[in-house]
Each structure stands twice: as C-alpha cells, then as structure tokens.
Amino acid sequence: MKNKFLLTILFCLSLFQSKAQFSESDIKFWVGSGPDTALLVIDFLDGTADTSYAWGYLFDASSNLTAETMLSAINSAEPKLSIATGNGFLNDIVYNNHEGFAGSPNYWGTWNGSNSGNWVTNAGLGEVLSNGSWFGCSYTDFNPAIKPGTPISAYASSWFNKEDVNFWVGTGSDSAVLVIDFVEGIYGEVATFAWGVAFDGNITGENMLTSLANADQNITTDMGGAFLNDIIYGGYEGLAGEPYYWGTWSGTNLSDWIMNSGINTVVNDGDWFGCTYEAWLPRRPFLPFAATNPESFLASDILHWEGMGSDSSVIVIDFNDGNEAVAFGYISNGLTTANQALNDLADAYSSLTVGISGEFLNDIEYDSQSGIGGTNGFYWGTWSGTNAANWTPNTGLSELLNNGSWFGCSFTDFEPNTPPTAPKSAIAAVGIHSVSIDMNWTIFSSNKQITISLKESDYGRFKIYDIAGNLIIEHSQIGSVTNIDMGGLPGAIYMVQYINEKGADTKKVVLF
C-alpha cells in the first residue's frame, strides 16, 4: 500500500513539475563567454520524467553566431551529450539514457522562443542567435509537430565524479556514490555532500545510509520502511515534516538523476544514490562537496603547539589552491578569541602573515601560499568545528575558542562558501618574529653546549629547532642560567625559542 501511495505522489509531482515555470535564472550549466545569453532546450519527448533539459550559452550577439554554433559548444562541453548534424540539418542527439535518431522513427524539429511556453518553428540550425533568445529541439513525428516541454536545468556530468570522493565507507569490490543535499545552508554555505560506499553485488539506499552512519561520527539517520525520515550531519539537519521531507534519487552521474521509490531502491556497481531535503518537488541533488573523514586528521596529529596554558585549539587554514590545508596547534588559558589566536600564531611563525582589520580577516600568507581578500572575487570565510569534517560557519574573528575547539579559515568565492578540507600539520615555528616585549635573555654555545642566561630568575621553557624546522629539544627553565647538552648533535645553525607568560622570542645560535 505504501508503495502505491508513493507512486501516486510521484506521478502527481511529475505533473506539477511539467507545469512549473522555467526561466533563465534556473540555468545551472553555462557554456561559452560573452555579454549575451541564449538558452538551448532539448526535449526527447520519450515519456520519461526527465524528457526535457536546458543549457545556457554565453556569446557576443554582434558576431552573428548561429544555433548550430551553440549546439556544437554545448556538445563539446558535456561528454554525456552527443549531437550529430550534417548539411545544416539536426540529425541525432543522445544524452545519457535518452536518444533521438533521424528517421528512427522520428525527426528533430527546431523552434524559437522567449520562454518555455512560447515556441514557434524556425528555419533550423542556421538561425542567428540574439540576446535572450531560446532555441528548442524536439524529437517529434510532425503529426502534428510537438513543441519542447518545460525543461529541467542540466547539470554538467564533469562537475563531480567518483574519483572526486574523499571518504569511502564499507567494504567490497563494488561501489556507488552517495549524495546528500540539504539544499540551503544558513549562511549560503555549501549544503550538498558526497561519500563513496563499497559493497559486494548490490545494496539498497537504506543500507548505504546505514553504512555511512556507522562509519562517520558526524552523521545520524532515521529510517522506517521505505521512508527516509531524518538526516543530521554536523550542523545541518533535515527532519521529516520540519518543514520538508526527503526525496530520493537514482543516477549514474551528476547529470542523469531520476526520482526513485525510496530507500529500498537497489543500487548497483557504478550507480549514484541521492537524497534531497526541500519543499516538493525537491531539486535533483546538486554539485556536492566531497565529505571529509573526521578521522583523517586529529588534534594529536599536530606536530607543534604554540602558546602556554591548559586549553588547546586547532586552527585550520585552507587556501583552496589545490594544496592541502594547514593546521596549527594553539594553547591558551581560558577563552581566547580567534583574532588573538591568529595574531599569536603570526607572531610565532615567520612564514605566516595575517591581515586583520577590526574583526575582519582580509589576508593570509603562509610560505608560498597566499589569500588576499578580493582576488578574483575570493574572500576569507570562517568556520567553527569539533573535528576535521564537522564545520559550521561562524560570526568571524570574535569567535571564542574553547578547549578542544577547531577554528577554520577558508579562502572562497562564496558560490558557495566551502569549509576547510582535511589539513596537514604546520611544521615547527622557525625564525619566529620577535615580540615587542623585552625578554631579557642571551644565548651562546661552546663545546657542544648551549648556555641560556636570563637577566633575572624566571620560569619558562625553551624549544630548539634545526634549520629545517624540526623540533630537536624542549627544555624547561627555572632560575637564571640553563646549560643544555647538545653533544649528540652536529655542529650547525639552530633556532632557540624562549616562551614565558609574556610571550615568545627566538634567537639563532651556531653550535660548535
């Protein structure tokens, strides 16, 4: 009974979708460049739920480009699309599981329009494009000629592939991609995530979700019968009826999603299974962010900690430049703002520079990486988390760091705002910036021994690094003079960092 009821809902929703308005603003996949726009609509008229698709084309209308040029450009941009033309005629189109071959049994008709419901026949592929024009193709028997129906926006199959998945769960020789789409983040952040699930033979959507929940500490699911009720992923949640419900989808790539009958759907090797939380009819799962394994990087993986106190935080900086994000360990006493933490780290690391105005993070540079606010429309977004995968946008540098908290900085164009990815640990701070406080200490070496003298008795600690930034010795100091035996180390240049409650300072020493 439930299945019959669900199929009735899906049928009604398909009718609703066919009547929904579609405009240029709905286009997701744009091809070309230029100041003017045109839309391409292809309708296979094959009775499927996704019979009609639309793409956007950017061009310069003063160049008098034709519809054939547009079709060729979109065909080249989408590997799942194949368009064959000849002698000015549109012969064949194949797109994922849809196909229309000239004469087998129908032919392609072409149309001009200004929206999805205003079509008139045209002269074919030689039609010259104008700004805002729509060009339609429908596979019809011309008895009578049937116009293209309301399309859905095409996604590019190349936007995300199986190889882009970072976090795989389960075991087996077969695999599928699982996409969960919360549709909207609170602050415009990314809201769609993807995992990979391994299995043998086949698997249901329900078992994929169960396997994921068992492996990812950040996700919780609730399911009953063929229905997906709730998914909570870190700070994201989709609860049944509060206010929406989950729709489920099947596909083989990002561009061929079809709504299925629920979590009992069988998934085979190479398939995709998607979930979307939105007012009905929910969108097809959109471009996902590759989810991160929360155990891919732990606080215990930090190689070097800066500061003094009993509380620790992890600061992650992601330049989104193709390199790994970088994680810094920060120690403090009690609550400290992210602003203070970043400034302290910049004082401690000669390779780290931060540009802050008030509570706004403008620029970060680290080694050869840089994120200068406004470059190519990119700015720094800030995030709070509890591990390397559980990130939620925060209010900025005024955010207070608690013991065990994670603070992330991600350089992004905010389309959407993307969280930091799995980081690597920053190396030990070498060539540390001198602070303005007079630390009142001197250092010299003789006979493979380093002697450190303080102007007055003090309590603190010393860290000694080789020139490559590797921590060699850590030593506490009580009193005014400390002798450190370096007999087992080669003669070379070393960096000695002195840390006390006033701050930190570094000096260079040559070991003889």
Place of tokens 């599981």: 97
Structure tokens at 14: 């398909």
CATH number of residue 461's parent domain: 2.60.40.3080
pLDDT at 6: 41
* Interatomic CA distance for residues 427 and 367, integer angstroms: 11
247 within 8 A of 264, measured Cβ to Cβ? no
Is residue 60, in this structure, part of any structural domain at all?
yes
Q: Which residues are 320's β-sheet partners?
A: none
Is residue 345, in this structure, part of any structural domain at all?
yes
Place of tokens 């070309």: 32
DSSP class of residue 412? E
Domain boundary among 371, 397, 425: 425
Domain boundary among 88, 122, 153: 153
Domain boundary among 373, 398, 425: 425
Question: What values do phi and psi take at 143, rounded to 5?
Answer: -135, 65
Structure tokens at 17: 């979708």
Is residue 142, in this structure, part of any structural domain at all?
yes
Structure tokens at 154: 């095409």
**Same domain membership, residue 446 and residue 385:** no
**Same domain membership, residue 391 and residue 418:** yes
Is residue 77, in this structure, part of any structural domain at all?
yes
* Domain count across the chain: 4
**Same domain membership, residue 469 and residue 499:** yes
Q: Report the largest interatomic distance among the alpha carbons of the chain, rounded to a whole angstrom.
A: 101
Question: What values do phi and psi take at 414, rounded to 5?
Answer: 60, 25
**Same domain membership, residue 165 and residue 149:** no
399 within 8 A of 392, measured Cβ to Cβ? no
DSSP class of residue 392? E
* Interatomic CA distance for residues 211 and 178, integer angstroms: 11
Q: Which residues are 236's β-sheet partners?
A: 233
**Same domain membership, residue 254 and residue 318:** no
For 76-120, give the DSSP string. Answer: HH-TTEEEEEETTEEEEEEETTEEEBTTBS-EEEEEEESSTT-EE
Is residue 12, in this structure, part of any structural domain at all?
no
Is residue 19, in this structure, part of any structural domain at all?
no
**Same domain membership, residue 222 and residue 193:** yes
**Same domain membership, residue 472 and residue 420:** no
* Mean pLDDT (10-residue bins), the chain, 512 residues: 39 43 94 98 96 98 97 98 95 98 97 87 96 97 95 97 97 98 83 97 98 97 92 95 96 97 97 96 94 94 82 95 95 89 92 92 96 96 95 94 95 93 81 46 85 73 76 77 86 81 74 78
**Same domain membership, residue 393 and residue 349:** yes
CATH number of residue 217's parent domain: 2.170.130.30
Torsion of CA 237, 241, 244, 250, to 10 degrees: 80
**Same domain membership, residue 501 and residue 420:** no
**Same domain membership, residue 148 and residue 31:** yes
Please give the residue range of the domain that contains residue 48: 26-153
Helix, coil or strand: residue 345: helix
**Same domain membership, residue 165 and residue 279:** yes
**Same domain membership, residue 256 and residue 202:** yes
Is residue 6, in this structure, part of any structural domain at all?
no
Identify the H or E element spanning 344.
Answer: helix 338-348
pLDDT at 279: 93
Among the listed residues 391, 397, 401, the one whose alpha carbon sits nearest the alpha carbon of residue 422? 391
Is residue 1, in this structure, part of any structural domain at all?
no
pLDDT at 327: 97
